[in-house]
Amino acid sequence: MHVGYGAGFQHLGGYSDRQFLREELGNCTNAEGQGFESVWVTEHHFDDYSISPDPCQVLSYIAGRTKHIKLGSMVIVVPWHDPVRLAEQISLLDHVSDGRYILGFGRGLARREFEGLRIDQNEGRQRFDEYAQLVLDALETGFIEGGATVKQPRREIRPRPFKSFKGRSFAAAASADSVPVVAKLGLGMLVIIQKSWKLVTADMERYHALWKEFHPNEAAPKPFCSGFTFVDESADRAEELARKYLALNYRTALEHYEMLGKHFDSIKGYERYSDMSKYLNEIGQDKAVEDYIQLMAWGTPQQVLEKFAGYKKLIDMQGIMPNLNFGGMPHDEVQRNIACFVKHCMPELKSWPSATLAEPKELALAAV
């Protein structure tokens, strides 16, 4: 099975952004030598929940410091981007990395980010559906054109895309409403662990049924899966620190996304989150935090492997990319966490039978 490094760039340590970036970028560039097969980078804006505003730029830096490791976006939030510029950035990143990019798209959720970028969140669904299709088509044909609202004049993407993105393009579907869109676009599922596995497996079953409807002659890509992981040889130490940092991580997420607020009631296309908000208010923040902690993989190496085996049984993912730096964990603790995972968990995980990421096909248009 493919094992990657998930870099969330969550900065809760109370020290300078400069120092934190040097530390987390170091983790990303060191990942190749430690045996990780990919590095995945988030997109967020305006607060310490994550200080990674430009995945393509960060991944270009990592590409220049590495030779073989795959580079994934988890995720590029499509509605926040101009589709022409996004297609150009993706093509350029794929060239500078020699075809190592794994594309990951998402729709975005946080009101503060939409407002700060001066984008009406009510347009989030429409923008994602339209822009994602424009970009995906451009990456296969070398031209971008159309769109119901952007009405993009036909223009060539330069540098020309040189390898197909089919089979290496994924999207997060945090709400059930996103599942049909992901299937229709021909994207694999990017499972970012945050809700009950009962809901996730229901989403996956629906995704596969819709995939057969939209793409009857193609096999759906196996999903990639990411969550927060803490591993230590001491069970007591693992539980104490996992609970501490996972709780800080999730409370920050609840604040960043305003998940306990009522604003989702009035945002078009985000009605599912209104139901989620009501549920979280009903059970209370402490119970929500505990439920979140129980979703994640933490404990001794054997306990972590058992948790990942459970994920594998449920969704048959082709790869995982655990986030090993979160919740304001001190840098030395992050290094300890990574080292313990690499030594005690990675060899076993890599030995598990799994589908593999297909090598992208060369596009004929690259030779024009």
Quick one: average pLDDT of 342-353? Answer: 98
Q: Residue 359: its pLDDT value, please?
A: 87
Quick one: average pLDDT of 320-324? Answer: 98
Quick one: average pLDDT of 355-365? Answer: 89
CA 332 to chain centre: 25
**Hunting for tokens 């296309």 — which residue is that?**
269
- pLDDT digit string, tens, across residues 188-201: 999 999 999 999 99
365: confidence class by pLDDT, cuts 50, 70, 90: confident
275: confidence class by pLDDT, cuts 50, 70, 90: very high
Q: The whole model's pTM is what?
A: 0.97
Nearest 5°: the CA angle 47, 338, 237 is 90
Nearest-angstrom CA–CA distance, 339 and 357 = 25
Burial class (CB in 10 A: 0-12, 13-18, 19+), 368: exposed
Q: Among 1-5, 67-71, 172-176, 257-261, name the one with the lowest average pLDDT.
A: 172-176
**Domains in the chain: ranges and CATH:** 2-367 (3.20.20.30)
Quote the percentage of the chain above a pLDDT of 70: 99
In order of 61, 237, 311, 341, 346, the CA distances from 305 in angstroms are 32, 17, 10, 10, 9
- pLDDT digit string, tens, across residues 17-65: 999 999 999 999 999 999 999 999 999 999 999 999 999 999 999 999 9
CA dihedral sign, ordered 38, 26, 63, 67: negative
For residue 114, pLDDT over 70 is answered with yes
Q: Residue 244: its pLDDT value, please?
A: 98
Q: What are phi and psi of 300, to 5 degrees?
A: -70, 165
367: confidence class by pLDDT, cuts 50, 70, 90: low
